[in-house]
Amino acid sequence: MDDKTASKNISSEGDKLMEELVQTLPQEKNWVGYTLYQYQGFWYPLVAAKAIISFQSHFKAHDTDIFLITTPKSGTTWLKALIFSIVNRKQFPHTQSPLLTTNPHDLVPFIEVSIYSKNQTPDLENGNFPSPRIFATHTPYGTLPGSILKSNCRIVYLCRNPLDQFISDWLYVVNNFPRNEDFKPFSMEEAFDRFCKGTHAFGPFWEHVLGYWKMSLEHPEKVLFLKYEDLKEDIASNLKTLADFLGYPFSEEEIRQGVVEEISKLCSFETLKSLEVNVSGERPVGRLKNSAFFRNGKVGDWVNFISQEMADRMKQLSEERYGDSGLKFDLLDKKA
């Protein structure tokens, strides 16, 4: 047997073992009828479950790596654009940025979707990823590979108030994913109930956010904790904080020249949404349109979908779950 055939067999044997392992995990249905698998306390779609187990087992961190970690629909696309622009600003001034012609998801790969979905041991060395390597993931803190925790790499965590996050996720799933034919899809109210109970992709939301919140307090040099709402309120000062944290601070000269404003504008919802690549482009797999990542980018849009009763339930849950941790989301009343 030649090397190529041997490695193909090993890899398909590995795939078989992985499939068997995942099928032993607790299972639930997602909002449109696909199976979610529970691994180490969190729920994942099949591809993500397998990818995250491989990632956890095999990933070797570099001290220079940057991890961009989010709950889904919390502004991952935005954060990818911001971090890519900060790190590469000397190479690509804003008028020549690859963001003008490339969707942010093609510049900063997802661990689950692009890296470990096809190969349990991808080659992430040997110049395949220029330094600093920037990766995105929704992996919860407790499931991260040990080498990330031991290395000096940086983690930027972004979350969003749970009401807007739920609505953004709900609309993304029901508008973009084919339904499982044999399944009666959940109503929005049923999906909300599942969200509150924690059975949704990459949930429970509460534990996901709390894990990174606690680590950002214990290790502020390693984990920067950001909220979507804060970025919306003051992108310039958050951009400076982000650049300082990543070790790419803006010089006085750059600040005078307006580089912070240029990056903020380039990465803004309005600019990215209107670029041709994001209007008519598609993801390489799954026939998902790039435009699916740009809906309306507002804070508080939940009021148009969620009843006050549901919002009150979420508020109470937030208070119960976050207790005296110091973590709080401003969930205004509908009438406010």
Question: Which two structure tokens, joined as six digits, stand for 179?
Answer: 């339904």
Closest to ligand A3P by CB, 137 or 199: 137
Does 278 contact ligand A3P by CB under 6 A? no
Does 135 contact ligand A3P by CB under 6 A? no
Does 29 contact ligand A3P by CB under 6 A? no
Does 67 contact ligand A3P by CB under 6 A? no
Does 301 contact ligand A3P by CB under 6 A? yes
DSSP assignments along 283-311, one per residue:
-SSTT-BGGGG-S---SSGGGGT--HHHH
Label residues 117-128 b or e (16+ Cβ within 10 Å = b).
beebebebeeee
Question: Which two structure tokens, joined as six digits, stand for 194?
Answer: 């599942």
Distances (CA, A) of 150 to 9, 141, 145, 147: 33, 13, 9, 5
Phi first, then psi, for residue 72 (nearest 5°) are -55, 145
Binder among 30, 54, 70, 238 for ligand A3P (CB under 6 A)? 70
CA torsion 105-216-44-63 (nearest 10°) is 60
- Minimum Å gap between C-beta 294 and ligand A3P is 5
Does 102 contact ligand A3P by CB under 6 A? no
Closest to 327 measured CA to CA, from 155, 157, 140: 157
Question: Which two structure tokens, joined as six digits, stand for 133?
Answer: 């390597």
Which residue is catalytic, options 138, 200, 208, 219? 138
Calculate ∠ Cα 110-112-118, nearest 5°: 110
Closest to ligand A3P by CB, 54 or 70: 70
Which regions of 53-105 does DSSP assign to beta strands (E)? 66-70
Which residue's entry shows tokens 């306390």? 41
Binder among 121, 257, 296, 316 for ligand A3P (CB under 6 A)? 296
Does 30 contact ligand A3P by CB under 6 A? no
Q: Which residues contact 45 (CB under 8 A, 6 or more apart)?
A: 30, 34, 35, 36, 37, 201
- Minimum Å gap between C-beta 222 and ligand A3P is 22
- Minimum Å gap between C-beta 231 and ligand A3P is 7
The number of beta carbons lying within 10 Å of the beta carbon of residue 112 is 23
- Minimum Å gap between C-beta 2 and ligand A3P is 43
Which residues inside 147-186 make contact with ligand A3P, applying CB under 6 A? 164, 168
- Minimum Å gap between C-beta 148 and ligand A3P is 20
Distance separating alpha carbons of residues 241 and 94, to the nearest angstrom: 19
- Minimum Å gap between C-beta 175 and ligand A3P is 10
Binder among 129, 269, 305, 322 for ligand A3P (CB under 6 A)? 269
Q: Total binding residues for ligand A3P by CB under 6 A?
A: 20
Instruction: Examine the residue annotation and report whether 200 is marked as an active-site residue of this protein.
Output: no
Closest to 112 measured CA to CA, from 69, 153, 80, 83: 69
The mark string for 220-259 relative to ligand A3P (x by CB under 6 A, - otherwise) is: ----------------------------------------
Binding site for ligand A3P (CB under 6 A): 70, 72-78, 164, 168, 267-269, 272, 293-297, 301
Residues identified as active-site: 138
